[in-house]
Structure formats: structure tokens, C-alpha cells
Amino acid sequence: MKNTILLATLLCVMGLNSQEVDTTSITKNEYPYVLPILGKKAYEKGYTLPLPFSASIGTIFNKQGIILENFRMAFTQGDEIPDFERLDPISELIQFGPSQGRINTLFGRIEAWVLPFISVGGYYGKVWGKQTITLLEPIAIESNTDINGQYYGINLVGVIPVGPVILQGDYSWSWTTNERLDKPVKVRVSGMRVMKRFVSKTNPSKFWAVWAGAQYQNLEGTTSGKIGLGEALDLTPEDIEEFDQQWEEYTMSPEWDALSLAEKTKATTAYNIIRNAATNLEDTTVYYQFDKRLEFEWNMVIGGTYVFNKHWAIRGEYGLLKSKQSLMFQVAYNFGL
């Protein structure tokens, strides 16, 4: 469970386009670089193209909610083989509350303009932070765990000058993994931005650019993995005592009396299994499977960049929608080959 929010770290990477297109200058010099394809023809028609390659480093902060559904789990001790079927009868009793994480990342990225207005990039990053998972039923537990992992991916960026602005569209495939996940989790991100440049009157290679737009993220549906129960839950003897008291009060309530015999049996089975695991935290491993989706798949983005010269640029972007927030900062070095 603790690794689910790692996916959230990938959702800002699409905003990292590292070049701007200048269609205002005309030059008669021969185009000197191998890329982009058709770059020479575009250059001869009056386009001053950006340097075709870029290397950058950056950091991202991300906070957002993830909805967990169709949860299955199995408790094991020692070399015991996990048995999901054993807990299936009580899976319907498991109810999650809000799941939220605060994530920080450090990433590196490379990019090449393969055509005058299309670039291909790749990136790799490390991620760390904390995740909170709330279990409402059959017991009330809040789990706060540390997160450590990595992610990698590729993305496409296309830009089109339209009068005084530049339209940018992008698409990304990313994978998040660490030792707790059975396999990397795929994230797909797409976005559209409208950019406006403000060029220095004394130095055309120096300018500001600002943009605004929208972004959509989609997570791969199913996640599975394992975690030590002692890692996932920081339970004290007082917590277990409170859990027993909650159960006793529940079995004496009108809600309990309204249950059928089969429902009471399921609830009792859930209590006994979880109670036994909670008293053996360090020796218990939880195997889990669940479907997940973002609380909000769309968000707005606003950002800006400052280009010092044809080689160096810095940029930042802020994403927002209700409880979903992200902040990115990046330094890029552009060069030609």
C-alpha cells in the first residue's frame, strides 16, 4: 500500500519542455546540426530553431489523493504462502478513507528535437516522502509510512506557432517501481499549454515565456505487492486495546443486531484475523492487490521560463485542482551536435 502514491510523482514531468521556437528571425547561414530532420529547410525559410539537444535536472513536489478499490489481502508469517481466497469472504467489509501523499523528487532529463516542432525525451528520477492511508472498516486505522522509489519514462512534445502565441501538446509514458511492488506501475499523462513569449529588445536570445493549460493523468488499474505489517502500521498496545474496545461496543450495538448470521460470521472472522496479525506485527507480512485511480484526473497548470541565452534556461510550473497540488523547478542546458 505504501508505494501507491509514488505514482503521483510522475504526473508533473510532462511540463518539462526544454525549448522554445522563434519564428521571427531570418538567417542566411547554413544550418550546422544533425537534428532536427528537415531542420535545414526550416532554417532556410526563416525559422531560428532552438539548439536541438537538451540536458536538465529538476525537482518536483506533489500532493494528491488516490482512491483504492477492490482491495484483497493475505496475512502470512514466516515462509507461509499467501492465500487471498481465505480473506475474500471479508473483502467487502474493507473500506478505505482518504489516501494522500506528500512527495519530493529529483530527476534528470534528456531531449532531442527530431523534427523542427517535435521532440522526444527521456527521464529518470528518485522519489521520497510520506503517505497516509486511512482504513475505516472493519477497524479504524491511519497508517503513515515513508516512501522511497524511482521512476523513468519517455515523452513526446509538439509545438506550433499560432500568431502571437505557441501551442504545445505533450504525451508521456512513465513507470514507477521499488522493492515493494511486484512490477512497475504505468502512468500516462497528456497535456495542452498556450505560451506567450516576451523577448528582450537588446538581445533576441534572452526572453521570458509564460503559459497556462490543462493536464490529464491516467494510472494503470491494478497494483500488487507486499509489506511487513510492522512497517505499514505503527500500532501500540494502547491502539490494540482501543481496537478491542471498538469491537466490543460494535457487537453490542443495534447495527450488529441488524446483521444476518452470515454477516456476523464474516465480521467476526475479519476481527479475529486482523486481531491476530496486529499482535504479531513484526512477524506478519501483508500481501495486497487493489485497483486504484486518482481522486482528480484533470488539473490546471500555470508556469514560466527565463532563457538567459541559447544555452541556459530555468523554468517552473504549478499544478492545481482542489486538494491536488504540484510544483516543479528545472534548470536546462541546450546544445548542438
Q: How would residue 315 be classed by pLDDT, with cut points 50, 70 and 90?
A: very high
Is 243 domain-assigned? Answer: no
Coil/strand/helix, residue 56: strand
What pLDDT was estimated at residue 72?
75
Q: How would residue 10 be classed by pLDDT, with cut points 50, 70 and 90?
A: very low
Q: Which CATH number belongs to the domain containing residue 141 in this structure?
A: 2.40.128
Is 228 domain-assigned? Answer: no
Is residue 101 within 8 A of residue 65, CB to CB? The reply is no
Average pLDDT estimate for 126-139:
74
Average pLDDT, the chain: 80
Is 32 domain-assigned? Answer: yes
Q: Give the Cα separation of 319 and 44 in Å (integer).
A: 38
**pLDDT of 234 above 70:** no
Percent of the chain with pLDDT strictly greater than 70:
82
Q: How many CA atoms lie within 13 A of 332 on its CB side?
A: 32
**pLDDT of 8 above 70:** no
What pLDDT was estimated at residue 7?
34
Per-residue pLDDT reduced to its tens digit, 99-127:
777 788 999 999 999 988 899 999 999 98
Contacts of 248 (CB under 8 A, 6+ apart): none
**pLDDT of 213 above 50:** yes
**pLDDT of 16 above 60:** no
Is 90 domain-assigned? Answer: no
Q: Find the domain containing 173 and state its range.
A: 4-73+99-221+293-335
Is 86 domain-assigned? Answer: no
Q: How would residue 308 be classed by pLDDT, with cut points 50, 70 and 90?
A: very high
**pLDDT of 256 above 50:** yes
What pLDDT was estimated at residue 91?
60
Average pLDDT estimate for 16-34:
54
Q: Give the Cα separation of 117 and 166 in Å (integer).
A: 11
Is 82 domain-assigned? Answer: no
User: Which one, of 15, 1, 46, lies nearest residue 216 by Cα?
Assistant: 15
What pLDDT was estimated at residue 124?
96
Is 188 domain-assigned? Answer: yes
Alpha helices in the chain (DSSP H): 39-44, 84-87, 229-232, 237-251, 254-257, 261-278
Average pLDDT estimate for 182-194:
88
Is residue 298 within 8 A of residue 324, CB to CB? The reply is no
Q: Give the Cα separation of 36 and 30 in Å (integer).
A: 14
**pLDDT of 226 above 60:** yes
What pLDDT was estimated at residue 233?
67
**pLDDT of 9 above 60:** no
Average pLDDT estimate for 220-234:
72
Residue 59 host element (H or E)? strand 53-77
Higher pLDDT, 39 or 17: 39
What pLDDT was estimated at residue 11?
33
Number of domains in the chain: 1
Is 79 domain-assigned? Answer: no
What pLDDT was estimated at residue 6?
35
